[in-house]
């Protein structure tokens, strides 16, 4: 599961083999989204599908392998299933045939260990109804919502959608805005967007698009220009922007061009404030100055993209870090949400990208092992601003907002 992730809410479907997890997804989507077979173990690696759920909106459903698999390959499949817990916002435990034993109890334990909301779906109710005693035990001992269902005759899909809506964390539906606390109606926001080798042909990168949409959502005015045009544009611009946001790679040039009375930050820092681990970035960024020869730096890209000769995560940040510290450092880059191959304690610093493609929970879980181990963490925007000597200015818009 190391591909780029979607920032929509993620719902994981868990349970034993042949309990109808894939059939449930097909019933929910109204199409053959997942492969269905009577052969146990048909679903191997977790498979995801974007769908729309009435009353919930767009979500990503993740169909996982059965957690009662066996053999060496089966254990690897179970491992992949448990990895999915780190990237989902809601878990659905699918059971059937009145089987509720160690596989189900283990999953509930894992849900709770990961602070995951969940509910239980008793599937194949057309073949065998849930026993009143088992229903009582589940409701009293585990205090989890329980719904009976038949993928063959899915007559209560509205009830399932309602439980999904009620069980989903409220934070999913009330997301912190990118700029809502910083701008007012009719405010002008200047967006500095370099068009270089990493800019996609014919379009903007996702963080730029997200910020433009957020400015418009708050009845502001978004003005865009390249970094080479900033100085001349700001001199003649009226009214002056209340905020300037730059691509992190153009930080130094933007800092020189934007007058000090106009707040300046980066797209990556804006995203970090919305859904990153902002406070731990604040604590960890200055550790850049304390790196020593031989230290290993882990760089986390949360998407997969075409690599260029001057890639930000694989080329520019390592080069800037080496020049800034004057130390011989080692770098490791992990794309998507792939497994970190070495023990986290092997690293002296972790640098997370802005995270435009993933959710807040995914970023927090991605960084949690490092934070628990006392390893400093930062993100692209924080690190670049720090190395270019404009760190205080770059975080000031959000410090003022929080103090106010």
In a domain, 337, yes or no: yes
Q: Does residue 313 have a pLDDT over 80?
A: yes
For the sheet containing 57-63, what is the strand order?
A: 47-53, 57-63, 10-15, 90-95, 118-122, 146-148
> For the segment 29-52, what is each residue's pLDDT rounded down to a tens digit?
776 554 444 444 444 456 788 888
pLDDT of 44: 47
Domain boundary at 220, 239, 271, which? 271
Domain boundary at 221, 254, 271, which? 271
Its domain, for residue 103, covers: 10-173
Residues 6+ positions from 347 with CB-CB distance below 8 Å: 295, 296, 297, 298, 332, 370, 375
Q: Judging by beta carbons within 10 Å of its beta carbon (0-12, 13-18, 19+), is residue 239 exposed, middle or buried? A: exposed
The CATH code of the domain that includes 82 is: 3.40.50.300
Contact 105, 136 (CB under 8 A): no
Closest CA to 357 of 300, 296, 284, 399: 300
Radius of gyration of the chain (CA): 24
Report how far residue 324's alpha carbon sits from residue 330's, in angstroms, rounded to the nearest whole number: 14
Partnered with residue 12 across adjacent β-strands are: 62, 91
Q: Which of 118-132, 204-218, 351-365 has the highest mean pLDDT?
A: 118-132
Contact 26, 32 (CB under 8 A): yes
Task: Give the SS3 label for residue 157.
Answer: helix
Report how far residue 259's alpha carbon sits from residue 27's, in angstroms, rounded to the nearest whole number: 57
> For the segment 244-290, what is each residue's pLDDT rounded down to a tens digit?
999 988 999 999 999 999 999 999 999 999 888 999 999 999 999 99
Domain boundary at 244, 271, 298, which? 271
In a domain, 400, yes or no: no
In a domain, 223, yes or no: yes
In a domain, 144, yes or no: yes
Is residue 200 domain-shared with residue 153, that is, in the same domain?
no
Number of domains within the chain: 3
> For the segment 121-151, what is each residue's pLDDT rounded down to a tens digit?
999 999 999 999 999 999 999 989 999 999 9
Is residue 263 domain-shared with residue 358, that is, in the same domain?
no
pLDDT of 392: 96
Percentage of residues in the chain having pLDDT higher than 70:
86
Task: Give the SS3 label for residue 255.
Answer: helix
Q: What angle do CA 256, 396, 276 make, to 5 degrees?
A: 110
In a domain, 179, yes or no: no
> For the segment 366-401, what is each residue's pLDDT rounded down to a tens digit?
899 999 999 999 999 999 999 999 999 999 999 865
In a domain, 1, yes or no: no
The CATH code of the domain that includes 266 is: 3.40.50.11420
Average model confidence (pLDDT) across the chain: 86
Contact 379, 370 (CB under 8 A): no
Closest CA to 397 of 224, 233, 183: 183
Is residue 97 domain-shared with residue 224, that is, in the same domain?
no
**Residue 28 binned pLDDT confidence (cut-offs 50, 70, 90):** confident
Is residue 20 domain-shared with residue 169, that is, in the same domain?
yes
**3-state SS of the chain: helix, strand, coil percent to 5?**
40, 15, 40
Q: What is the pTM of this model?
A: 0.70
Is residue 32 domain-shared with residue 157, that is, in the same domain?
yes
Contact 359, 9 (CB under 8 A): yes
* Other beta carbons within 10 Å of 213: 12
Is residue 340 domain-shared with residue 220, that is, in the same domain?
no
Strand 118-122 and strand 146-148: the pairing is parallel
pLDDT of 4: 37
Is residue 258 domain-shared with residue 315, that is, in the same domain?
no
Name the H helices within 94-137: 102-113, 132-137
Is residue 306 domain-shared with residue 357, that is, in the same domain?
yes
In a domain, 182, yes or no: no
Is residue 260 domain-shared with residue 356, that is, in the same domain?
no
* Other beta carbons within 10 Å of 282: 16
In a domain, 124, yes or no: yes
Is residue 308 domain-shared with residue 196, that is, in the same domain?
no
Is residue 165 domain-shared with residue 219, that is, in the same domain?
no
Is residue 238 domain-shared with residue 257, that is, in the same domain?
yes
């Amino acid at each position: 599961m190391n591909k780029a992730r979607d920032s929509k809410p993620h719902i994981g479907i868990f349970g034993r083999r042949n309990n109808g997890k894939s059939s449930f997804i097909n019933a929910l989507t109204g199409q053959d989204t997942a492969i269905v077979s009577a052969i146990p173990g048909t679903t191997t690696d977790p498979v995801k599908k974007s769908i729309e759920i009435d009353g919930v909106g767009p979500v990503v459903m993740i169909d996982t392998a059965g957690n009662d698999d066996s053999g060496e390959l089966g254990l690897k499949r179970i491992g992949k299933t448990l990895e999915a817990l780190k990237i989902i916002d809601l878990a659905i435990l699918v059971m059937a045939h009145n089987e509720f034993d160690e596989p189900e109890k283990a999953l509930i334990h894992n849900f709770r260990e990961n602070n995951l909301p969940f509910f239980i779906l008793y599937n194949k109710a057309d073949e065998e109804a849930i026993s009143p005693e088992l229903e009582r035990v589940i409701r009293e001992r585990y205090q989890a919502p329980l719904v009976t269902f038949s993928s063959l005759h899915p007559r209560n899909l509205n009830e399932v959608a309602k439980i999904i809506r009620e069980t989903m964390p409220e934070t999913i539906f009330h997301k912190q805005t990118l700029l809502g606390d910083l701008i007012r109606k009719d405010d002008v926001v200047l967006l500095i967007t370099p068009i270089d080798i990493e800019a996609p042909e014919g379009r903007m990168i996702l963080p730029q698009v997200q910020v433009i949409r957020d400015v418009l959502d708050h009845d502001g005015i978004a003005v865009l220009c390249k970094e080479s045009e900033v100085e001349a544009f700001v001199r003649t611009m009226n009214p002056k922007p209340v905020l300037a946001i730059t691509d992190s790679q153009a930080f130094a040039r933007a800092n020189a061009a934007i007058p000090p009375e106009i707040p300046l930050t980066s797209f990556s820092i804006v995203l970090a404030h919305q859904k990153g681990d902002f406070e731990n970035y604040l604590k960890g960024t200055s550790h850049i100055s304390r790196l020593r020869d031989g230290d290993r730096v882990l760089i986390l890209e949360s998407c997969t993209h075409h690599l260029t000769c001057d890639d930000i995560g694989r080329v520019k940040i390592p080069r800037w870090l080496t020049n800034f510290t004057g130390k011989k450092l080692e770098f490791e880059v992990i794309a998507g949400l792939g497994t970190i191959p070495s023990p986290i304690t092997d690293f002296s610093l972790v640098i997370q990208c802005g995270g435009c493609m993933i959710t807040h929970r995914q970023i927090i879980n991605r960084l949690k092992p490092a934070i628990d181990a006392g390893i400093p963490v930062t993100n692209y925007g924080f690190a670049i601003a720090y190395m270019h000597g404009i760190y205080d200015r770059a975080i000031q818009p959000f410090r003022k907002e929080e103090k106010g």
